[in-house]
Structure 1
Amino acid sequence: MPRLSTFERHGLVFEVRDTGPQDGIPVVLLHGFPQTSASWGSVAELLNGQGFRTLAPDQRGYTPGALPRRRRDYRLSELIADAVALIETADTGPVHLVGHDWGAAVAWGAAAARPDLVRTLTAVSVPHPLAFIQSMSRSTQAFKSWYMLFFQLPWIPELLLSNESSFTRSLRGTGQSAQNAARDMADLHRLGSARTAVNWYRGMPLTQPSVLKRKVVVPTLQVWSDGDTAVGRKGHELSQRFVSGPWELRTLEGVSHWIPDEAPEILTQLLTEHFRKHTTNA
């Protein structure tokens, strides 16, 4: 299989980190906010060492060729279609689909919409979007998610993200390391993508619920960490009702929201166990 450095959809060009054995079983890694594919670096290296090929795209809003400015361009249906386009362009057959944070929301939608393209689903840190919404009234999730309402404001969130000291301090307060916070801030500044990163949240109210109503039929693993300040456990527990295939929830103790950066070895172990449990040739 040839290496994939970019893929296109509707005139947008997305950069991709394609690493590992070219004939390895493919694993697609979707990043979250406010990160790029760099956040998967350690996990990808570990997976590559075990014979898996990893495809980690920089999603829209985080890559130079795909920085649309309108809120509507960040509806979940568009984000899901981007992920599907990557898998179809790679033309490797079904993939193990893994997403962290916002990448998990995209992965949930892609796995439900196109199970023919997905071997297994792993959602890291973020539950099924509808379960997440339900958890708002059944737990403290609404208090944890205050920033989502804040991000609907014009201009002010962009100012926060553009201020290196204040935003780095915010990231550090959620458990992110100083080194990784600096990396993510540098990427935002390099791309000038503060607005487009926030637009992932601004596109939420424009997403049609029907996008998420189909159940996930592929084997699904959820990974949550009890040090997560943004997402509580309840939404993960409620997610099972949106999965008709095999489902499992694993909890990491003493780990923050930033699981791929903070606990890559443990996460990779869970991923490979999940892949091999549900795929005879993985």
Structure 2
Amino acid sequence: MIEVIEIPTGVGTFDALSCGEGGGREVMLLHGFPEAAIEWEFQLGALGNGGCHVVAPDQRGYSSGVRPGNVADYRVEELVGDVAAIADELGWERFDLVGHDWGAYVGWAAAASMPERIRTWTAVSLPHPAAFLRALTEDEDQAQRSAYFATLRRPRVAERVLLANDAAALRQIFEWKVPEERVEDYIHRLTQPEALTAALNWYRAMHLAEPTGPVSVPTLYVWSTEDSTVGSTAALGTEQHVTGPYRFEMLEDISHWIPEQAPEALTRLIMEHLLAHRI
């Protein structure tokens, strides 16, 4: 059974979803934009009922108890610190980490900076940041796919654009690939006071990030051919930034929203990755 829990840390209290008994293999799931921990509902149930202890937090800005107002508070170093603080509170010395979209951005940095704590790393959709940055500067296709960043980083303007006409632009982000009731849940969350600004501050803090180094932990990267935000150049370039065991899986005819559009396929890949690396 999936439970709603709260995780107190030094920076505030994170809302989270949990499934599985304590003592099971520890797995943390990090959601992306503009979503929340509930995007992992299928994976929580499958992994939690399969012998794992799985926790998916609503990350900084998405949890009302951890919603600082300064852009600098959303630097990747702070977000990685949240991952470590949540694991500490859960009593997890080592754990498996899975991240989608912005959750993958955080996960890549966490896997690179604290390999002693992360047993395995699974990135969904977003490639290694160094591969993404190179593609962004050298590949016209990726530059076009990422052109929306400029709008989302504009203070107040992005909020106005996304919420106009009953949040029409925010709904369109999901490309009609995510169940309507789930989209309504996300929009409800992001229309709470300061919630959307906090989520957008992840984009606004991008330029403050330190470069992400190579990843040495066992890594699975899952990319989909119909991802409108990440092209093949960045996806295929990710291997150059992983020094440990690496597996790349490409899902055909699936959009950016892999955890919800292809939950069975993704969960199978995650399970295979965990079973392949029991250390």
Q: TM-score range by the shorter chain?
A: over 0.9
* Distance apart, 1:12 and its partner CA: 2.0
Q: Structure 1: which amino acid aligns with 2:235?
A: H
In terms of mean alpha carbon deviation, does 253-262 or 161-170 score higher? 161-170
Does the aligned pair in 1 maintain the 2:9–2:89 contact within 8 Å?
A: no
Cα deviation, 1:25-56, whole Å, max 9, x if unaligned, reads: 01100001011101111111111121111110
CA distance in 1, matches of 2:257, 2:94: 27
Q: Are 2:35 and 1:35 equivalent residues in the alignment?
A: yes
Q: Which residue type is aligned with residue 197 of structure 1?
A: A
1:85: which partner in 2?
A: 85
Amino acid at match of 1:19: C
Partner of 2:70: 70
Q: Is this contact kept in 1: 2:108–2:128, CA < 8 A?
A: yes
**Which stretches of structure 1, 4 residues or longer, exceed 4 Å deviation after superposition?**
none
- Letter paired with 1:258: W
3-state secondary structure, aligned to 2:110: helix
**Which runs of structure 2 are paired with 1:221-236 in the superposition (5 Å)?**
221-236=220-235
2:178 maps to what in 1? Answer: 176
Kept in 1, the 8 Å contact 2:174–2:257? The answer is no
Query: What corresponds to 2:255 in structure 1?
Result: 256
Structure 2 vs 1, CA of residues 169 and 31 (structure 1 numbering), >3 Å: closer, same or farther?
Answer: closer
Structure 2 unpaired stretches of 5+: none
Structure 1 gaps, min length 5: none
Contact 1:96 1:119 in 2 (8 A): yes
1:139 Cα offset (Å): 5.1
Greater CA drift, 184-193 or 115-124 = 184-193
- Aligned positions of 1:1-282 closer than 5 A: 5-136=5-136, 137-138=138-139, 140-163=141-164, 164-173=166-175, 175-190=177-192, 192-209=194-211, 212-213=212-213, 215-279=214-278
CA contact (8 A) 1:46 1:265 kept: no
Q: Residue 71 and residue 116 in structure 1: after superposition, are their counterparts in 2 closer, same or farther (change >3 A)?
A: same
1:149-208 CA distances to partner (integer Å, 9 max, x unpaired)? 111212111113333341344224373342322121112124540100110000001112
For 2:57, the aligned partner's letter is: P
Q: How many residues align structurally?
A: 275
Give the aligned CA root-mean-square deviation in angstroms.
1.8
Q: Distance in 2 between matches of 1:59 and 1:241?
A: 28
- Give, as a single letter, the amino acid of the residue that structure 2 aligns with 1:259: I
Q: TM-score, normalised by structure 1?
A: 0.92
User: Structure 1 residues 157, 70: closer, same or farther in 2, change over 3 A?
Assistant: same
Q: Within 2, Cα distance between the matches of 1:229 and 1:84?
A: 31
Between the aligned partners of 1:89 and 1:39, the Cα distance in structure 2 is 23
**Deviation of 1:277 (Å):** 0.7
Is this contact kept in 2: 1:174–1:228, CA < 8 A? no
| Contact 2:17–2:57 (CA under 8 A) maintained in structure 1 | yes
Structure 2: how far apart are the matches of 1:202 and 1:39? Answer: 23
Separation in 1, partners of 2:82, 2:76: 10
Is the partner of 1:255 in helix, strand or coil? coil
Equivalent residue of 1:140, what SS?
A: helix
Do the aligned residues in 2 keep the contact of 1:28 with 1:54 (CA within 8 Å)?
yes
Q: 2:265 is aligned with what amino acid? A: I
Residue 218 and residue 139 in structure 1: after superposition, are their counterparts in 2 closer, same or farther (change >3 A)? farther
